[in-house]
Structure 1
């Protein structure tokens, strides 16, 4: 993989990672609730979950590229259509929702799940105030880590995104694993940077993005990236089938 292609990949993932998805919102809210040091355990869990999803995708692409090359072109075509769909959604997302409220909702959703798990395991009624207070109770480091893993793995659409996004930056006629390592490094670098930013300066970042149409323009920029990569994937697939 050339450094030029890697730079394009990193810049693209950096913009995409900046959008406040479930992982970033959880890092944001936990940074406020529990502090930066404790939230590092959650960030580690988010990274592990993301790595599991990414590794599953890359292993699948590796097998398909060696055993069914024609299926790889089908995946590129379907992936391009999926990226077009994501691009349209991103472009139409006005970003008028409040990030503080969204982050709080994500945190409470996780807390409610934890409360239901406690109830199911003990089979004893719990006070109604448990789910609302769960966010305020400081959990153990292992609990913070497991929560990060669960939130990351609970988004299976990430596999669809990886399968749609990564093929554009992979040369399947060259050794794959060196490319996989570079792409994984680039993705995790951009994700880690933004997770730390959301954890350290969540309130300031949320306040800045909630002003005017800034979040909307960030979503539109991501939409353009999705569209451009989709167009490149479709061009590759069409040229392969025609040739």
Structure 2
């Protein structure tokens, strides 16, 4: 891999990672409701989930999507159902008032925050396709592949973590303003609706493929 190829990869990844999705939305919403420090457990979970998806995509996801498309679609359905469930839970809890520390009255434990991050990250099958489709475009097949995979993966995780921290900090910065009236409730419900729409989009993609 040449320096020029790596620079092209990081410039593309920088903007792709900034695009709002389920991971960034979760970082923003938890930063808003639970504070920056507590959300770091969730960010760790998101990173672990992405690492698992990266390993999956580099091992057998290409084979799965081509040789066992039905199993792949089942995986997408499970992911969509989890995101929909998360959206419903957020909507139901949206009316809870924030405490003096800017957090929801019921704060999950670090383990629960971590597990939620892992689950949301794993529930994004589009990330698998992103890894499987993007990484090979920047690899030099005539050179050893493992060092190139490591460089690309580390570069991706740096930018992904950076944007997660930015989204988390943005949520925390808005917490005081949103704690007035019903602003927080409506923003949480908006986040819940986005999660549900992402789930609906996954299901719709599957229906169109079957049709």
Task: Report the aligned-residue RMSD.
Answer: 3.2
Distance, in Å, in 2 between the alignment partners of 1:191 and 1:27 is 11
Counterpart contact for 1:30–1:107, Cα < 8 Å: no
The residue aligned with 2:38 is 38
Deviation at 1:196, TM superposition (A): 0.4
Cα 1:203/1:140, change in 2 over 3 Å: closer
The residue aligned with 2:13 is 13
Distance, in Å, in 2 between the alignment partners of 1:16 and 1:130 is 31
The residue aligned with 1:222 is none
Structure 1 spans left out of the alignment, 5+ residues: 65-73, 75-105, 115-128, 206-243
The residue aligned with 2:49 is 49
Distance, in Å, in 1 between the alignment partners of 2:83 and 2:108 is 13
Tell me the TM-score normalized by structure 1.
0.55
Aligned positions of 1:22-37 closer than 5 A = 22-37=22-37
Structure 2 spans left out of the alignment, 5+ residues: 67-81, 98-102, 175-211
Distance, in Å, in 2 between the alignment partners of 1:159 and 1:55 is 9
Q: Does 1:193 align with 2:144?
A: no
Aligned positions of 1:17-166 closer than 5 A = 17-60=17-60, 109-110=85-86, 112=88, 133=96, 136=104, 137-166=106-135
Q: Deviations over 1:19-49 (max 9, x none)?
A: 1111001000100100000000000000000
Distance, in Å, in 1 between the alignment partners of 2:156 and 2:145 is 16
Tell me the TM-score normalized by structure 2.
0.63
Q: Deviations over 1:176-234 (max 9, x none)?
A: 110010000110011011000001124779xxxxxxxxxxxxxxxxxxxxxxxxxxxxx
Deviation at 1:158, TM superposition (A): 1.3
Deviation at 1:110, TM superposition (A): 2.2
The number of residue pairs the alignment matches comes to 151
Counterpart contact for 2:33–2:172, Cα < 8 Å: no
Say which SS state the counterpart of residue 171 (structure 1) adopts: coil
Cα 1:131/1:193, change in 2 over 3 Å: closer
Cα 1:22/1:144, change in 2 over 3 Å: same
Larger Rg computed on CA atoms: 1
Counterpart contact for 1:29–1:107, Cα < 8 Å: no
Distance, in Å, in 1 between the alignment partners of 2:121 and 2:23 is 7
